[in-house]
Amino acid sequence: MKKLSELKKRGVATIKNVKGPEMLRLLEMGLIPGAKIEVVRAAPLGFPIEVKIRGYSLSLRKAEADCIEIE
């Protein structure tokens, strides 16, 4: 299973599954299975990354991006 943290810049994917300690918050922010997600850019040292989800921008650290499975 591919993780969001492995998605390259400008890559678009569909969320397959969300898990981990921040699962509830991520789901509430609209990162639910089936939603389209795009990695817009990475911050200076590689992480956090900026993603686009449901038309807005969100920043995620590696730990959170690791918890999001995509396809």
Q: Site residues (CB under 8 A) for other proteins?
A: 18, 21-30, 32-33, 36, 40-48, 50, 54-61, 63-64
Residue placing its CB nearer to other proteins in the complex, 7 or 22: 22
- Per-residue tokens: 19: 């898990």
User: In whole angstroms, how close is the CB of 23 to other proteins at the nearest point?
Assistant: 6
Closest CA to 66 of 33, 20, 8: 20
User: In whole angstroms, how close is the CB of 4 to other proteins at the nearest point?
Assistant: 13
Long-range pairs for 29-36: beta carbons < 8 A, 24 or more residues apart: 29/53, 29/58, 30/54, 31/58, 31/68, 36/12
Residue placing its CB nearer to other proteins in the complex, 1 or 46: 46
